[in-house]
Structure 1
């Protein structure tokens, strides 16, 4: 996803029963990404957050290490959550499950994590990679895998084979497989792969028109059922040159920023103009998402505290 906000804006042949695990799938998703690529106690951060209404937490990201040379069956496939320990992952899963919230492990991202996953399936090593991911899901009592491959040169037959094997393995265990995707990737993603996921999250993260256009494209052009399409919204602001800032930092620098969708001229990021989703726009996008399969947030720790929490705005308007 927009890994450290770099690509947030994704990712087989079709399986015959894409809803083999439908009994675990909520009517509408309210997904939040938890940024394990950041430092800090993720369990404590989650415990301090009002998670009312949230249905899914996606851990961003888990991956094996990069191969030192060409990847082989003898390479290190060990899966880990960025710089965080297994105990930290377990703490987040335990807290979420106690609240009835599913937890998915997200693989890929807009940064280097894509290479860490793609290196194996491009080397025709999907089977051992899927086996290790399955073991990781079991060990941490996770509810499935979110596939977040965002580079078009890593699509094609090896990617399709990897996703097909992953879906087969996860569905056999009653787990889900989702993907984070965007329009710019679709020329390279096999259509059957897109349709094989249990649901897809659209990396839009911008204004209402962009959200409407993306939903229309995936439902009416790519023919993904509306109930399986989740709208992505961003808790951050971005400038045209890829400078970005968390929504909470924007509000700290511009106390009235919640009223609008653009700020600039102050001390934050040398006064560069930042575009984001303010409260009124977030309310409209949450209502729009209610007509589809749900809403997804990139990323949880970007939110501000009440009375200007965007999570609160979503809760009020998402049904």
Structure 2
């Protein structure tokens, strides 16, 4: 009888030892999966919170009583799987962000190269126009009165056509500068119109100001950010800020607020002047920024 009890006790101790050894192996496997994440340079910075939860779940499994071990093991395994998935997801998100940044850099570089080509074409047309004007002048001096009149007419026609080409080149240059400015600032430029002298006027509506004040609204700050990037993209350009007021806010305060915001955005003092009050404003026109080369 005593011998039988001793044998049964030995058997129980042996089974307990086997179970403990199996538990230790499971814990080691789970910890090894987490260590693999830490050892991977692409994954070690991802899913830190989920990894901490997995470590805590493994510890709870190690400390759990026999009746709680199955459920604790399930939780620990799921937490490790979640940590692995979070690390992979974080790495994928980082790769997507890197690709987006590379794409934006390529678009910006392409825009800058196209702008440089447009400026070279505008300069070539300007030199060509100057040569044609000088040649026409030489012909005018050599001809008699009738020939001079005909030469003047020819010069006028040539100048008009050349001016049209030059204006078109400047508009293309401005369009490329607009594209570059919007890429760099992440904001949209206000609509603009071109004058015969080649200057470009941006008309800002009343909603760029806080109602009843000269303080810029969110829309106004967005417009100023884009305009500052545009000024930077059009080297040598100068801007004049004209304000249009209402009963609550004088136009001069609006023009001064816009000029101050442009200076804070990085535009130099030499590039922007304050035109002051230009009359009564409307909902569609509270200020006009005229940019000229």
Structure richer in strand, relative to its length: 1
**Higher Rg:** 2
Coarse TM-score class (shorter-chain normalised): under 0.3
TM-score (norm: length of structure 2): 0.24
